[in-house]
Structure 1
Amino acid sequence: MRMGTLSLDDFKDVRIPVPWGHISGRWYGNQKERPILAIHGWLDNLGTFDRLIPLLPDHVGVLCIDLPGHGRSSHLQPGVHYSVDDYVYIIPRVMREYGWPKVSLLGHSMGAILMFVYAALAPHTVDLVISLDILISESRQPDGNNLRLSARNMEKHLGEDERLLEGISCEPPAYTLDTLCRALNKGTFQSVRYEVAHHMLHRQVTRSQLYPSKYYFSRDGRIKFLNHAYLDVGLFAEMARRIATNPYLIIKGSESPFLGPSEAFSILSTNNPNFEFYEVQGTHHVHLNEPEKCAQYIVPFLHRHRPPTPRNGSSLEPKEHSKSKL
């Protein structure tokens, strides 16, 4: 059977109901098989996978979602705080919505952290993990600097809450798309290249009503100040031990400082026979800037651990296409 690659034009927009609204997403490709669940990083959205999707094999679909407060997903209600720990619950929520007994996971940055935590909590439900540029965040020591940062973030989060509760509805400052692309490049310390920044912007900006040629950020401002857990290095190590045989692929950008505690990485790489690690030249967003460097490892990994079945591939019926514009 001839295998092709996914098309970025072949998708279905999805809205997954949740108690606070909905989770927005796009399901690319095969919709008759359980897809890969893809989750973006902090302050990003599902557009982060735009350039990687077309390089993946088409025998398995990919469901990319926007986390709450990001992209086009609902914001949490005023008075409710964003937390990395709470984001982990999004994975089993999506699984229950579609009735999946198992899940295949693809994540970047914070999305990859959520997948490490979930895989450690429920390894029997995870059939593979593809982690882009991180395993788990470094343990945050409760020293003075970290505590001051947490205190400052708490105050800023509460300030954003107060503005929401007061019903302040004035439009945020608006800018041209070119200016926003440059701002995204600068804000990520050049991790996201200017020429590909529009892939992230198309889901996190809204056209200004006051200045129709300009746009403003529409993501929830409170996600900039989300809560980070103070987890112990020993706990990370025990979590790594629980991911004993789950196929686990990590691709790291050479110019990125992220990976995680060395002990957890060592345990996973030593104990798990299905663990793979590769370093490629690039930044934290290498999967967006130069997706071919990641795809060269992801594609064979998928063929090994999610091979095509007789029910999918060329036997699929034609799918409906839907397209959205900015």
Structure 2
Amino acid sequence: MLKQLPVTNKFLQCQELKIPAPWGYISGRWYGDRTERPILALHGFMDNLGSFDRLVPLLPDHVGVLCIDLPGHGRSSPLPLGIRYDVYNDVFIIPRIMKHFGWVKVSLMGHSLGAFYSFIYATMAPNTVDMVICIDCVLLPKFDSDVALESFRRNLEQHMVQDEILASGNLREPPSYKLPKLEMAVANGTLSSVTPDLAQHLLHRQVKESGLNPDSFYLSIDRRIKFYNYWDIGAELSADMARGVGKKPFLIIKGSMSPFLGPHTDEAVSILAQDNPHFEFYEVENGTHHVHLRFPEECAKYMCPFIQYHRPPSNATLFRGKL
């Protein structure tokens, strides 16, 4: 059986939901206050909203957090056959969710690929974004051109192969394993960014019980995601995008042991910080790429005052607190 996740007050107040989309639905979990616009949280590549399990309960109670599973991840519907998983499709999840709830503005919190999406959307529609929190990423790591080209070719071919398998309907159950082995596989797959004991937070939303092997589970994530189409942004474009964000509240948290923020992001980060009194950057000592899952208390130490200042309690929230 999957391990029971810890219960907190904010967990007790959370609600599972499904946001309709033309291809199915986007699965989410809304923590805390449902009367005010929440912070929208976007997870990283091959993860799901469970990566925020340990962080969200530590954030200020006056503002809710809506964590979503990106398409094909967690419990969200996979994209239709023939549609590739890439930056373009995923970024437009943000305005889709805004339209569904009738939000004019959005507060974004993203980890890894989700942080990249948050940065991109803030450059595309800066007037609709009031706050951005990026966890251990702003831009994706750069690849040598020959490596990038070979990866693009391989991923294109393999994505089409998986499309054909799904279209044929001749699906077999993927390999299944006991939970300890799956937990170790998650740890190895993240290059030990996630420890085996914390892997449960990623597994509980994207495993299914095997119909062939007792007490075994298999990963239910859409296999086409492994062949994701990255958007390799050059230095000139990334600098222009950073300028487009303007002087809005922008918080970046880096894990000291992670390479995801480094020379390839220095210029963009410098532009985001330039003459911006609302820019903050912190590094968590010994933090890995999943710094928010490994060290949630350290991340919350920086996030809480940032959120309190830029998303303070509304008069309605203060009034309810006195009742």
User: Residue in 1 aligned with 2:280?
Assistant: 276
Question: Which stretch of the first structure deviates more once superposed, 42-51 or 224-233?
Answer: 224-233
Give CA-to-partner distance per residue, 1:156-177, whole Å, 9 cap, x none: 1111111101112211111111
Q: Report the residue type matching 2:276 in the other structure.
A: N
Give CA-to-partner distance per residue, 1:7-62, whole Å, 9 cap, x none: 12221111000010000000000000000000000000000000001101110000
Q: Report the residue type matching 2:203 in the other structure.
A: L
| Gap regions ≥5 residues in structure 1 | 319-326
User: Residue in 2 aligned with 1:323?
Assistant: none
Q: Report the residue type matching 1:64 in the other structure.
A: C
User: Is 1:87 the equivalent of 2:90?
Assistant: yes
SS of the counterpart of 1:8? Answer: helix
- Which structure has more helix as a fraction of its residues? 2
CA contact (8 A) 1:6 1:56 kept: no
Q: Report the residue type matching 2:134 in the other structure.
A: S
User: Residue in 2 aligned with 1:180?
Assistant: 182
Identity of aligned residues (%): 53
Distance 2:302 2:109 in 1: 13
SS of the counterpart of 2:132? Answer: strand
Distance 1:53 1:314 in 2: 23
Give CA-to-partner distance per residue, 1:285-324, whole Å, 9 cap, x none: 0100110010000000001100111212571799xxxxxx
Q: Could you tell me which of 123, 143, 146 is aligned with 1:144?
A: 146
SS of the counterpart of 2:16? Answer: strand
CA contact (8 A) 1:130 1:250 kept: yes
Q: Could you tell me which of 254, 267, 275 is aligned with 1:263?
A: 267
Distance 2:12 2:235 in 1: 43
Distance 1:190 1:32 in 2: 39
RMSD: 1.7
Change (3 A) 1:287 1:313: farther
Q: Which runs of 4+ in 1 moved over 2 A?
A: 138-141
SS of the counterpart of 1:76? Answer: coil
Higher RCO, Cα 8 Å, sep 6+:
1
- How many Å apart are 1:85 and its aligned residue? 2.3
- Aligned residue pairs: how many? 313
User: Residue in 2 aligned with 1:41?
Assistant: 44
SS of the counterpart of 1:293? Answer: helix
Q: Report the residue type matching 2:170 in the other structure.
A: I
Q: Report the residue type matching 2:293 in the other structure.
A: L
User: Residue in 2 aligned with 1:296?
Assistant: 301
SS of the counterpart of 1:161? Answer: helix
Distance 1:316 1:201 in 2: 36
User: Residue in 2 aligned with 1:242?
Assistant: 244
CA contact (8 A) 1:6 1:58 kept: no
User: Residue in 2 aligned with 1:305?
Assistant: 310
- How many Å apart are 1:122 and its aligned residue? 0.7
1:5-154 matches, cutoff 5 A: 7-141=10-144, 143-154=145-156
- How many Å apart are 1:130 and its aligned residue? 0.7
User: Residue in 1 aligned with 2:5?
Assistant: none
User: Residue in 1 aligned with 2:290?
Assistant: 285
User: Residue in 2 aligned with 1:208?
Assistant: 210
CA contact (8 A) 2:247 2:272 kept: no
Distance 1:164 1:316 in 2: 51
- How many Å apart are 1:140 and its aligned residue? 4.2
